[in-house]
A and B are shown apart, each in its own frame.
Chain A
Amino acid sequence: MSEPWSRAAVVGIGQTEFSQASGRSERRLAVEAITAALADAGLAPSDVDGLVTFDVDSNDPSSLAATLGLGPLTFFASTLYGGGGGCATITHAAMAVATGAAEVVVCYRAMNERSGVRYGQARVGGRAIPPVLSFSAPYGIHTAAQGFALNIARYFHEHGVTNADVAPVAVAQRGHAATNPAARFYGRPITIEDHQSSRWIVEPVLRLYDCCLESDGAVAIVVTTAERARELPQVPVRVVAGSQGLAGHPMRDWYRASICSADETRAAGERLWAASGLGPHDVQVAILYDHFVPLVLTQLEALGFCPPGEARHFVADGGVALGGRLPVNTHGGLTGEAYLHGMNGIAEAVRQLRGTAVNQVRDVEHALVTSGPGVPTSALILGRPA
């Protein structure tokens, strides 16, 4: 492992409930998650000297620092490209504590994405379509589902995949959610038949149960130095490696030679493997961003868990369920627990490494986490204490 990466650890996680309508402001949600994460870490707000969030979060570091009475801060940043930036918040924080730019950095995401502005709905009007979107929006390609559908349809065509082939992933994740009390689909597993009879969102690639669960809520994660982590109450989770991946902007960049592999995830993954000296066989649990279930398949291929076009076999017969060859999204994922832009998945990876997950995988040494493919993305490997 490259030496600077050994200097950072995740020491606290906190979250609100996940719901359809929080009834509280996004700032209030952020405060609740951050104070919960700091309490989990055994740290006080006065210990915090860094904040990292998503560029799309309504709570910029300055307004949140004022709300919480934090400061002075010596490091603050936001990550780009919406759901592609989740793992990157941890990487930014890890780099900050490794270099001494800060010592205690809180990463957070708070959103009323279901009761407020929904990403799953077209937003048009009030002004002309921006020039860069004028090659897609006039055709009714507004949302992520509508944009990714063209990539997924081509993937299905090139590899002989059908929507039925992705059903086992959705079913596995709803199974994980069904036993997770924090999940919005707690107690509500589905069958292959349920999946295949759910209505089309974009035919023939995305059914309702292939799409993430737009949600209200917040998640916060505390990163500090390995030295400081030793004094704190939780089992420290090592940030083994972090990276980002940019290979076009697939949601509206359909002009490359191939449009159906998760090239951004491949770029991030190859850097992770190189930086850590690890490979797919060293990972016992994976949190793969499932805004749309078919993209779990392309990520498995891009990360080297199986060859291109082979993921439908990898996921069949419980392959990504608890007890399968690679348990994926053991919290239920964005389709079963909640769509919190993937920050809830990072918290799940931390629980898996602490040994406190409700759907605990045995003997987890390393967890791989990805952020959204289909936009410039990011990824992480977290590990048990050395």
Chain B
Amino acid sequence: MRSPVSAQGEPDPTVADPTADTRIGSDLDTAFYWDGTARRRLLAQRCTACERLWHPPGPACPHCQHLDWTVEDLGTEGTVGVIYSAAKVRAPGSPIQGTDYLVALVEVPDPRRAGEAVRLACNLRGGDLADAVIGAPVTLTFEQLADGGRLPQFRLEQLDLEGPR
């Protein structure tokens, strides 16, 4: 593996840096979410007033400003989402993800309210940009983090396994 620091001593952002501090930061508003992902559950807040979901976590419902909420369990490994936007980071890349990785927004449907969804940023695994078609289904997975937590991610569904690829 190449060094994350160039010969000139400058950080080389094209190389994933094993020394980068990638610990997730959480606070009183977001801790429940990361506690959930550590247990392989994808959670979101549901407003007790307007009953809509919101993400990312925060102290008030962005739809109606209500402060009381319950936790909705959106699923675990294999839960299906839909690609809302996707792109491939070439260079410069990331000390965490390296280069040539897919970034995406995926919508996970609200299990109780038809037509509504929460949108999450993620990486797409198991395919390349040509597979990352907006509107395509993807499945939830969790990646282990060094600090013991887990990061929710999505895998591209290979729907046409019989066809040419």
Chain A positions near chain B (C-beta within 8 angstroms) = 120-122, 124-143, 146, 149-154, 157, 199-205, 252, 254-255, 259
B114 at the interface (CB under 8 A from A): no
Contact (A126, B21) CB under 8 Å given A131-B27, A199-B90, A254-B105 = yes
Report the bound CA distance from A122 to B98 in whole Å.
11
Count A-B pairs with CB separation below 8 Å. 134
Q: Is the CB of B55 within 8 A of A202?
A: no
Q: Given A136-B121, A205-B87, are A157 and B134 also a contact pair (CB < 8 Å)?
A: yes
Given known A-B contacts A149-B103, A150-B104, A254-B119, A137 and B96 have beta carbons under 8 A apart:
yes
A204-B101 CB under 8 A given contacts A124-B22, A124-B95 = no
| B92 with A121: CB separation less than 8 A | yes
Q: For A146, give its contact among B86, B89, B118, B134 (CB under 8 Å).
A: B89
- Bitwise, B90-109 to A at CB < 8 A (1) or not (0) is 11111111100101110000
B123 on the A face (CB < 8 A): yes
A121 to B119, alpha carbons, bound, how many Å?
26
A140-B87 contact in complex given A149-B103, A254-B121, C-beta closer than 8 Å:
no
Q: Please tell me if B3 contacts chain A, counting CB pairs below 8 Å.
A: no
Q: List 13 A-B contacts (CB under 8 A).
A: A124-B94, A124-B96, A128-B24, A139-B96, A139-B123, A154-B84, A154-B134, A201-B92, A203-B90, A204-B88, A252-B121, A255-B54, A255-B56
Contacts of A129 in B (CB 8 A): 21-25
- Nearest residue, chain B, Cβ from A141: B103
**Set A121, A136, A149: member contacting B87, Cβ < 8 A:** A149
Collect the chain A residues with CB atoms within 8 Å of residue B13's CB: 121-122
User: Is there contact, CB below 8 Å, between B123 and A153?
Assistant: no
Given contacts A135-B120, A203-B88, 12 further A-B contacts (CB under 8 A): A125-B20, A131-B29, A134-B25, A135-B56, A136-B121, A139-B96, A150-B85, A153-B134, A201-B91, A204-B88, A252-B121, A255-B62
Task: Point out the residues of chain A lying under 8 angstroms from B79, CB to CB.
Answer: none
Q: A134-B24, A138-B22 are in contact. Are A150 and B96 (CB under 8 A)?
A: no
Tell me the complex Cα distance, A124–B21, Å: 7
Question: B120 — nearest CB in chain A belongs to which residue?
Answer: A135
Identify the B interface with A (CB < 8 A). 11, 13, 17, 19-27, 29-30, 34, 54-56, 62, 84-98, 101, 103-105, 118-123, 129, 134, 145, 151
Whether the Cβ atoms of A125 and B21 lie closer than 8 Å is: yes
Name the B residues within 8 Å of A124 (CB-CB): 17, 20-22, 94-96
Minimal beta-carbon separation of A152 from chain B (angstroms)? 8
Asked if B86 and A153 make an inter-chain contact with CB atoms under 8 angstroms apart, the answer reads yes
CA distance A188 to B149 in the complex (A): 50
Q: Are B129 and A140 in contact, CB atoms less than 8 angstroms apart?
A: no
How long is the Cα–Cα vector from A67 to B38 in the complex, in angstroms?
Answer: 52
Report A-chain residues with C-beta under 8 Å of the C-beta of B118.
Answer: 255
Contact B11 A121 (CB under 8 A): yes
With a CB–CB cut-off of 8 A, which chain A residues contact B120? 135
Point out the residues of chain B lying under 8 angstroms from A138, CB to CB.
22, 24, 96, 145, 151
**Minimum C-beta distance from B159 to chain A (A):** 19
Question: Which one of A120, A125, A154, A199 lies within 8 Å of B95 (CB-CB)?
Answer: A125
CB distance from A123 to the nearest CB of B (A): 9
Shortest C-beta distance, A212 to chain B (Å), equals: 14
| Pairwise interchain contact A122-B26, C-beta atoms closer than 8 A | no
What A residues does B20 contact at CB under 8 A?
A: 124-125
- Shortest CB distance A166–B (Å): 14
Closest 3 interchain pairs by CB? A140-B97, A140-B94, A128-B23
Q: Which residues does chain B contribute within 8 Å of A204, judged by CB atoms?
A: 87-88, 129
Instruction: Assess whether A142 is in contact with B94, with CB atoms less than 8 Å apart.
Output: yes
Question: Which chain B positions have C-beta within 8 A of A200?
Answer: 88, 90
Q: Which of B26, B84, B86, B123 contacts A140 (CB 8 A)?
A: B123
What separation, in Å, do the CA atoms of A114 and B19 have in the docked complex?
Answer: 25
Cα(A134)–Cα(B27), bound, Å: 11
Q: How near does chain A come to B31, taking the closest CB pair, in angstroms?
A: 9
Contacts of A140 in B (CB 8 A): 89, 93-94, 96-98, 101, 103, 123
In the bound complex, what is the Cα–Cα distance between A146 and B123 (angstroms)? 12
Say yes or no: B85 contacts A202, CB within 8 Å.
Answer: no
- Inter-chain CA distance A201–B30, complex, in Å, is 32
Complex CA distance for A304 and B131, rounded to whole angstroms: 35
A149 to B105, CA, bound (A): 11
The answer to whether A255 and B97 touch across the interface, beta carbons within 8 angstroms, is no
The residue on A at minimum CB distance from B90 is A200
A131 CB contacts on chain B under 8 angstroms: 25-27, 29-30
Distance in angstroms between the alpha carbons of A200 and B93 in the assembled complex: 12
Task: Give the distance in Å from the alpha carbon of A289 to the alpha carbon of B29 in the complex.
Answer: 34
A153 and B87 contact, CB distance less than 8 A: yes
Closest to A136 in B: B121
**Which residues of the partner chain A approach B24 to less than 8 Å between Cβ atoms?**
128-129, 134, 138
Complex CA distance for A121 and B11, rounded to whole angstroms: 9
